[in-house]
Structure 1
Amino acid sequence: MDSFAISIFVHVADTRSFVAAGRAVGVSASGIGKSIARLEQSLGVRLFHRSTRSVTLTAEGEMFLERARRILDEFNAAQAELSQTMSTPRGRLRIGLPMISEPFVLTLAAFQQRYPEVELDLDFDNRHVDVIDEGYDVVIRSGSIDDSRLTSRTLGTFQMWLVGAPDYFARRGTPLHPRDLQDHDCIQFRMPNTGRLQAWQLQLGVGEPEPLLGRRITCNTDEARRCFALEGIGIAYMPHFAVGEALRSGALVRVLKDYTLEQNTFRLLWPASKHITPKLRAFIDFVSEHIPLDKRP
């Protein structure tokens, strides 16, 4: 049994005619009949009732038809995927990303240099986008996945740290316990999907109340809160990758290390499909390999 024999069977089932099926695949009616006979012998069942006027499916033929269509679909999909692996990634790729430059922009630039025939259409937005309805090829998002229509791949983890400028701590003192934050200026972040302020997840003792956070300024981008922290405005609760360079240079320092343990995950999400285009496959593999998420300052 091969895919061509199964294809002939499906054509006969659809047309109810050996002659019409033969025209569709370029084989004589007698050749079609012989192919069906060999298939029936291989399966050990009769697939068609034949008469001088009509060809109709038997009960076994009806049962086999559904699976035959699936077999052909899988075979065609496998052929398409194999042929795509031999082609050069090219064309437009629409990508959704969080509204942050690090650690993604340098990786995207490296991808574009590696695959110059792929056009990157980048949409930086912190809101929860609908990947399929809004026409994205792939998005990068943090948090859990609750859409069965999507396929995902984990890129890496990141931690949330408390940071501030040395001159700020020289003026206001260094907090030694989360409760000290009520006496400090805190740079708050407003969540784009809910409009609520981001919670600072701090490790506290049993029964210990959540600290009240002093509020100096509220914003909705990482770049803004990092800038305010660098200018000595207050303490910011930031992803580690967004402040790595500033920590290495000493422009920012980390505080309350033993109390900030929140960890989250970035993932690639794309529409679940049997066919992944060469440009999308190249992007998924490249970003998964080169994104520097798990590096710590």
Structure 2
Amino acid sequence: MDKIKSLETFVRVADLNGFARAAESLGLSRASVTRTVAELEETMHLRLFNRTTRSVSLTSDGERVFEEAREILRRTDEMFASPGSSELTGRLRVAATTSFAEFFLCGILEEFGEKHPGLSIELLASDRVLPLVESGIDLAFEVAPEPMSGTAARRLGLCRSCLFASQDYLSRHPAPSEPDDLRAHRLIGLLGENHWILARGSETRRIAVHAPLRYSAAGLIRDAVLRGNGIACLPDIAGEGEEAAERLVQILPEWHLPTRDIYALFPALKFIHRGAHLLAEEVESRINARSGGAGS
């Protein structure tokens, strides 16, 4: 029995909650996957899954083995990903939310591609982070309170929320000096965003967002701000880029809004492309450089 392959198969079944889905993603027959897991259970003298005609779930022993197996596979991936040569080749498939890609990632990918001309980079931008294994993704970036489950996550730093207005808007409207002053301004909101919470030391202010126009994506909101349409809450990386840096002004910088973590996500099961590790390190260094290391 190939122990590493058996653990990969076991973890894939657990990740995808089924033998059929695991078999499809592995390019194997369902019978082969079922047989591999059965042999693993027999070898370990443990029952790893509760099986019914409708569902598959881990037993308590299976949950323990699952965590240990993922760590073994992660360390195996890192060993095989150790540099054998300085040249990166092949395809590197990267995923990110559209706003993170537009505000921050695209420029880094272009420079990374120039450093490694033998590498073919594909970027999948979406409103949500795609499932890594099923989509054949080598590396994904996520801005969230917690990383996506079923992945090997690495925290890269912080993404801060800030209030922005354009130079043009502020030339026509006095800049607010206190959070309560925002009520007299035209606000631009995200769909589902009803209030902003600002904090300064022990002070906290909750500002209702009465926005005459709301958008579903941060990129659209930034464009509206750049056109001088009002004040909006955006991730700090929205101020990146030459045009944004020249035309956007941070409002009430002494007041802080909630932060979220930036994660690099790796598929937990496959051998990880060495380029994925190097790209994650490059993004982490850029995040730390722009925040003075505060995001570490």
Say which SS state the counterpart of residue 278 (structure 2) adopts: helix
1:137–1:270 contact (8 Å) kept in structure 2: yes
- What 5-or-longer segments of structure 2 have no aligned partner? 3-42, 45-71
Do 2:140 and 2:264's aligned partners in 1 also have CA atoms closer than 8 Å?
yes
Structure 1 or 2: more strand by fraction: 2
Match for residue 227 of structure 2? Answer: 231
- 2:93 maps to what in 1? 94
Question: RMSD over aligned Cα, in angstroms?
Answer: 3.5
1:188 shift after superposition: 1.0
Select 2:209's aligned residue among 206, 213, 223: 213
Match of 1:139 in 2: 140
SS of the aligned residue for 1:86 comes to coil
Distance of 1:104 and 1:83 partners within structure 2 = 23
Q: For 1:2-33, what per-residue CA distance to the aligned partner results, in whole angstroms no more than 9, with x for missing partners?
A: xxxxx9xxxxxxxxxxxxxxxxxxxxxxxxxx
> Residue 255 of structure 1 corresponds to which residue in structure 2?
251
Deviation at 1:205, TM superposition (A): 9.4
Q: Alignment partner of 1:89: what SS?
A: coil
The one-letter code matched in structure 2 to 1:233 is: N
C-alpha distance in 1 between matches for 2:219 and 2:77: 46
Equivalent residue letter for 2:222 = R
Q: Secondary structure at the match of 1:153?
A: strand
Query: CA shift at 1:187, angstroms?
Result: 1.0
**Distance in 1 between residues matched to 2:147 and 2:159, nearest whole Å:** 20
What is the match of residue 83 of structure 2? 85
TM-score, normalised to structure 2, is 0.62
On the 8 A contact 1:89/1:278 being kept in 2, the answer is: yes
For these two proteins, the number of residue pairs brought into alignment is: 221
List gaps (5 residues or longer) in structure 1: 1-6, 8-64, 67-73, 191-195
Q: TM-score, normalised by structure 1?
A: 0.62
1:109–1:149 Cα change, 3 Å = same
Q: Give the Cα separation in 2 of the matches to 1:188 and 1:95.
A: 29
Q: Distance in 2 between matches of 1:294 and 1:96?
A: 22
Change (3 A) 1:240 1:82: closer
Give the number of the structure whose alpha-carbon radius of gyration is greater: 1
Matched, 1:197 2:193: yes
